[in-house]
Amino acid sequence: MPTSVPLILASASPRRKQLLTEAGYTIEVDPSDIDEPEPTPGTLAVDYVALLAWRKASAVARRRGNGLVLAADTACAVEGEILNKPEDRADAERMIRLQEGRDTKVLTGICLYRAERDEWVGAVEISVVRFRVLDNAERHAFLDSNRWAGKAGAYGVQDSDPFVSVARGSFTNVVGLPMERLTALLQNFPNLTR
């Protein structure tokens, strides 16, 4: 059940906005616009997404001074390698080939930050996505479509891409915002919504 308190979404993601709106949340979009550096070697994906979500939320909270800020960061992980948004077509192809025929993790860090009290809570949700092997024609058609642009791991499960499916965990997490986890955070930390 959505909170009656409006959420300030620290993201320009149309997918996150759509998920929240469809679930009945009142939101205001205010992207954090922070730098999102690539992870350093050895960084765990769970730590990476948690830190970026907190950095986004705290940046918007400091700028605004009041309100309940929601931030999220999503990345994919394959055998310890973190896959963010591809830089170009070649990078998208590298990511797709790396994931083909495997189960890969999708991690989303979320952070709720009450600006006026400087209080926050965060969590990381992990889902598993199954990738089938593509033939060359399928792979090139997908890359030519540019549907990979701006998406962690170079794909979007919400686009009904036929080569990927959610094997375990939250579908909305793979889209970019684990709605079940958000609901649990809001219920478990009601002081944030007062």
Q: How far is CA 81 from CA 38, 52, 98, 148, 163, in A?
A: 11, 17, 10, 18, 21
Query: If you search the block for the tokens 């860090």, which residue do you land on?
Result: 109
Q: Say how far apart CA 61 and CA 57 lie, in whole Å.
A: 6
The gap between the terminal CA atoms of the chain, to the nearest Å, is 16
Q: Are strands 7-9 and 68-78 parallel, antiparallel or unpaired?
A: parallel
DSSP string of 10-75?
----HHHHHHHHHTT--EEE-------PPPPTT--HHHHHHHHHHHHHHHHHHHHSSSEEEEEEEE
Q: Which of 30, 33, 35, 73 is catalytic?
A: 73
- 73: annotated active-site residue: yes
Geometric angle at alpha carbon 49, from 157 and 123, rounded to 5°: 95
Active site residues: 73
